[in-house]
Chain A
Amino acid sequence: MSTIPNPIIRMRGVGRRFGTFEALRNVDLDVAAGEVVVLLGPSGSGKSTLIRCINHLEEYDSGDVFVGGVRVERGPNLLKVRQQTGMVFQSFNLFPNQTVLDNVALGPVRVKGLTWEAARTKARTLLERVGIASQAEKYPGQLSGGQQQRVGIARALAMEPRILLFDEPTSALDPEMVGEVLQVIRSLAHSGVTMVLVTHEMGFARQVADRIVFMEAGEIREVSTPDVFFSATTNERARAFLDAVLNH
């Protein structure tokens, strides 16, 4: 594989087993600062497991993961890693007991020590940026799926992370709301933040990705530019995967 000097994310020989089943096998991946990497692959290929190893929501049992030079592992460094990595979930996972505004402000208050007042001011700016400032005082349950996911993005941004992780951010959305969320993500992709993204939106992947990582059966099978991957991949598995999703 190609080695990137000073990658912001470095994965080396990463493995993860569930019992005897290997969900990840010997994964090597470097991500450069500011890069947008899209993970593609069939269901069960290990995309979620991989992305969750980066902020240690999933424990890996062999190999190493480094974020900003810090090894991702249980212990005092983990909070630092998580402060640098925001995550956006398929099912949003907003906190139903707090207003939209406080969902976004909570992290800065508890982790960065901002006052609630300062954090809420900042949260308002972020909600404006994702286009839902008018919903600030509502509770998550009162919002549409697309709006909720934009809150999820604002919540991740509030910690000013260097890395954003997205695990199928639009898969739980009604079709008419996918566009508004992708639009927000697209604008972030151009902002210089590092992104690792799992998605089934092929057109979107091709647009925003600097690199495509194709996975199958817990392994990385191909890493290439979107142009190469979508029109000229020589990898048979990738070809078959693309045929299946594009002709579906």
Chain B
Amino acid sequence: MSIVNTFFNLDVLVRSLPLLLQGLWRTILLGALSIALGLVGGLALALVRLYAPRWLRWLAVAYIDVFRALPVLVWLVIVYYAFPFLGVSLSPFASACLALATVSSAYTAEIYRAGIEAIPRGQFEAAQSVGLRPFDVMRDVVLPQAIRIVIPPLTNNSINVMKDTALASVVALPDLLKQATQAQALAANPTPLIGAAVLYLLILLPLVRLVARFEKRYQGRAR
């Protein structure tokens, strides 16, 4: 009985719900925007890494390696607390979005690259032999085939970005986690934290299921 009252206190939950929903909305917005930017930036990075002149390729490799190695939290703290010393002061939302998108694009770049490299050489050659420009070879032939390969790992990466949005509470963004801790302090009861966890699960469990479905389908094809 006391456990239920402590962790699943309905009264507290109802009172903190507006706060939680506000945070949820911000979390979704931050996640979606970071994911979208990461997807676009990653594709550009992958193409640079594969086809640009050597020195640009090098830059892309350096970017990808650095942002895959750097802890997201460290990078986020640098963006928010250190950039102002360079005269760049970003809001908590902008800082978090920038940090998440830069890191995500490093991961998606590698995913796209693997997808493009999985397309047989004959496909490139056939498209080139017709006289298509490099842009059309990509748009009409290579990317439509690569996209099927990269959707499962891209979805997986999107889950990770969505989870990492919780780090934004460190730079005082009133996201779902921050609002939950706020509500917990106000009510002197941890129920809002449980509520936040449930909300995270509600967004992310379907995505996790989706990836599992993709993976099963892929195995079915490989056989």
Contact = CB atoms under 8 A, between A and B. Distances in A.
Genuine A/B complex: yes
Interface of A: 55, 57, 79, 82-83, 85-87, 89, 91, 93-98, 106-107, 110-111, 155-156, 158-159, 165
Interface in B123-177: 123, 125-133, 136, 140-141, 144-145
Given A95-B141, A97-B144, A97-B145, A107 B131 contact: yes
Contacts of B71: none
Interface residues of B, number: 17
A131 B43 CA distance: 41
Contact of B129 (A55, A91, A94): A55
A45 B129 CA distance: 23
A97 B126 CA distance: 14
Contacts of B128: 57, 82
A93 B140 CA distance: 14
Given A106-B140, A110-B140, A95 B127 contact: yes
B122 interface: yes
A87 B125 CA distance: 9
B113 to A, nearest CB: 19
A82 B123 contact: no
Contact of A96 (B127, B132, B133, B145): B145
Nearest to B132: A110
Contacts of B120: 93
A189 B101 CA distance: 57
Contacts of A98: 140
Given A96-B145, A106-B140, A110-B140, A159 B131 contact: yes
Interface SS majority for chain B: helix
A87 B136 CA distance: 18
Nearest to B139: A110
Contact of A110 (B122, B123, B133): B133
Top 8 closest pairs, chain A to chain B, by CB:
A93-B126, A93-B122, A87-B129, A83-B131, A107-B130, A82-B131, A97-B144, A110-B136
Nearest to A155: B130
Contact of A82 (B130, B136, B144): B130
A114 B15 CA distance: 63
Given A106-B140, A110-B140, A93 B125 contact: yes
Contacts of B140: 95, 98, 106, 110
A107 B144 CA distance: 16
A111 B122 contact: no
Contact of A159 (B125, B127, B130, B136): B130
A165 to B, nearest CB: 8
B128 to A, nearest CB: 7
Given A86-B130, A87-B126, 13 more contacts: A57-B129, A82-B129, A85-B129, A87-B129, A89-B125, A93-B126, A95-B126, A96-B145, A97-B144, A106-B140, A107-B130, A156-B130, A159-B130
A82 B137 CA distance: 14
B126 A94 contact: yes
Contacts of A86: 129-130
Contacts of A155: 126, 130
Contacts of B125: 57, 87, 89, 93
